[in-house]
Amino acid sequence: MTFAALVVALTVSAQNTSTVIIPKPLQVSQVKGSYVVTPKTVISVSDDSLVRPAEIFADYVASEAGMTLAVEKNAKKGILLAVDSSLGKEEYTLDVTSKGVSIKGGTPQGVFYGLQSLRQLISAGTTAKKGIELQGVSIKDKPLLGYRGAMFDVCRHFFTVKEVKRFIDMVAMHKMNVLHWHLTEDQGWRIEIKKYPNLIKKGSVRKETIIGRNNSTSYDGMPHGGYYTQEEIRDIVKYAAERYIEVIPEIDMPGHMVAALASYNYLGCRDEKFEVRTKWGISKDVLCVGKESTLEFIEGVLEEVFQLFPSKYSHLGGDEAPRDRWKECPHCQKRMKDEGLKDENELQSYFTHRVEAILAKHGRKIIGWDEVIKGGVNKSVTVMLWQDKRRLQATTLGNEVILTPKKHCYMDYYQTRRPDSNKEGPMFATRIVTLLDAYNLNPYENLKPEQYKNIKGVQCNLWTEFISTFERVQHKMLPRMAGIAEAGWSQGEKNFDDFARRVNHLRQLYDKAGYHHYATYFFDGDDER
Ligand code: ACM
Ligand code: ZN
Q: Which atom of ligand 1 is nearest to the CA of 317?
A: 4
Domains of the chain: 3-141 (3.30.379.10), 147-489 (3.20.20.80)
Closest CA to 109 of 84, 83, 81, 90: 90
Residue 523, pLDDT > 60, answer yes
Handedness of CA 113, 116, 120, 122 (dihedral sign): positive
Query: CA torsion 385→236→480→386, rounded to 10°?
Result: -10
Whether ligand 1 lies within 6 angstroms of the CB of 413 is answered as no
Indicate if the pLDDT at residue 8 is higher than 60.
Answer: no
Which whole number is the average pLDDT over 435-464?
95
Rounded to whole angstroms, what are the CA distances from 442 to 214, 338, 437, 476? 33, 44, 10, 21
- Please state the rounded mean pLDDT for residues 268-274: 93
CB 186 within 8 A of CB 276: yes
Give the CA-trace dihedral at 485, 318, 226, 364, to 10 degrees.
70
Helix 161-173 vs helix 470-477: crossing angle, to nearest 10? 20
**Burial label, 406 (beta-carbon count in 10 A; 0-12, 13-18, 19+):** middle
Closest CA to 436 of 515, 522, 354, 501: 522
At residue 16, does pLDDT exceed 50? Answer: no
Pairwise CA distance, residues 412 & 179, whole Å: 17
**427 vs 442, more confident:** 442
3-state secondary structure of 472: helix
Whether the per-residue pLDDT at 428 is higher than 80: the answer is no
Question: What's the pLDDT band for 420 if we cut at 50, 70, 90?
Answer: low
319 pocket-lining for ligand 1 (C-beta < 6 Å): yes
Please give the distance, rounded to the nearest whole angstrom, from the Cα atom of residue 333 to the centre of ligand 2.
Answer: 7
Share of the chain above pLDDT 90, in %: 86
For ligand 1, whether the C-beta of 410 sits within 6 Å is: no
Residues present in the chain in total: 529
Closest Cα to atom 2 of ligand 1: 386
Long-range contacts of 502-508 (CB under 8 A, 24+ apart): 502/19, 502/20, 502/21, 502/22, 502/24, 503/22, 503/435, 503/479, 505/20, 505/22, 505/120, 505/123, 505/124, 506/20, 506/22, 506/120, 506/479, 506/482, 507/479, 508/123, 508/124
Helices 108-124 and 51-65 pack at an angle, to 10 degrees, of 10
Q: Which residues pair with 147 in a beta bridge?
A: 457
For residue 5, pLDDT beyond 80: no
The pLDDT assigned to 214 comes to 87
Q: How many angstroms separate the alpha carbon of residue 347 from the centre of ligand 1?
A: 20
DSSP 452: G
Please tell me the distance between residue 206's alpha carbon and the centre of ligand 2 in angstroms.
24
The helix (run of H) or strand (run of E) holding residue 298 is: helix 292-308
Q: How far is the CA of 329 from the centre of ligand 2 (A)?
A: 5
Instruction: Please give the pLDDT value at position 168.
Output: 98
Backbone angles phi, psi at 438, to 5 degrees: -60, -45
Which of 180, 315, 386, when mutated, tests ligand 1's pocket best, judged by the most ligand atoms within 8 Å of its CB?
Answer: 386
Q: What is the pLDDT of residues 274-291, one digit of tens each?
A: 999 999 999 999 999 999
Atom of ligand 1 nearest to the CA of 406: 2
7: confidence class by pLDDT, cuts 50, 70, 90: very low
Three-state DSSP at 356 gives helix
Ligand 1 atom with the shortest distance to the CA of 463 = 2
Whether the per-residue pLDDT at 508 is higher than 60: the answer is: yes
Q: Is 50 exceeded by the pLDDT of residue 436?
A: yes
User: Taking residues 403-429, what's their average pLDDT?
Assistant: 80
| CA-closest candidate to residue 191, choices 150, 222, 237 | 237
Beta-strand (E) ranges in 429-503?
Answer: 455-462
- CA separation for the pair 28, 308 (Å, rounded): 40
pLDDT, tens only, 365-410 = 999 999 999 888 899 999 999 997 777 777 778 899 999 999 999 9
pLDDT for the residue numbered 11: 41
pLDDT at 342 over 50: yes
Does 260 have pLDDT greater than 60? yes
What confidence category does residue 429 fall into, taking pLDDT thresholds of 50, 70 and 90? low
Closest Cα to residue 226, out of 255, 253, 203, 197?
203
**Nearest ligand 1 atom, CA 410:** 2
Report the Cα–Cα distance between both ends of the chain, in Å, rounded: 36
Q: In angstroms, what is the span from residue 289 Cα to ligand 1's centroid? A: 21
Give the model's pLDDT for residue 17.
63
Mean pLDDT for the chain overall: 93
Q: Kindly provide the residue ranges of all beta strands, DSSP E only, lying in 264-418, ordered along the sequence.
A: 313-317, 365-369, 382-385, 401-403
Residue 386, ligand 1, Cβ within 6 A? yes
Q: Which of 126, 55, 70, 133 is nearest to 98 (CA)?
A: 133
Residue with CA closest to ligand 1 atom 1: 319
Specify the ligand 1 atom closest to the Cα of 256. Answer: 3
Q: Tell which one of 256, 319, 404 to mutate to probe ligand 1, the residue whose CB is within 8 A of the most ligand atoms.
A: 319
For residues 119-129, average pLDDT: 96
> Residues 194, 196, 188, 291: is their CA dihedral positive or negative?
negative
- 369 ligand 1 Cβ < 6 A: yes
Mutation probe of ligand 1 site: the residue of 251, 320, 388 with most atoms within 8 A of C-beta: 320
Nearest ligand for residue 186 CA: 1
Task: Dump pLDDT digits (tens) for 139-150.
Answer: 999 999 999 999
Question: How many whole angstroms from 321 Cα to the centroid of ligand 2?
Answer: 12
Share of the chain above pLDDT 70, in %: 95
Strand partners, 34: 135
Is residue 320 in contact with ligand 1, taking CB distance under 6 Å? yes
Q: What is the pLDDT of residue 208?
A: 98
Q: What is the dihedral of CA 407, 177, 402, 446, to 10 degrees?
A: -60
The predicted structure's pLDDT at residue 377: 87
Looking at the CA of 329, name the nearest ligand: 2
Residue 318 has pLDDT above 70, yes or no: yes
Determine the pLDDT at residue 425: 67
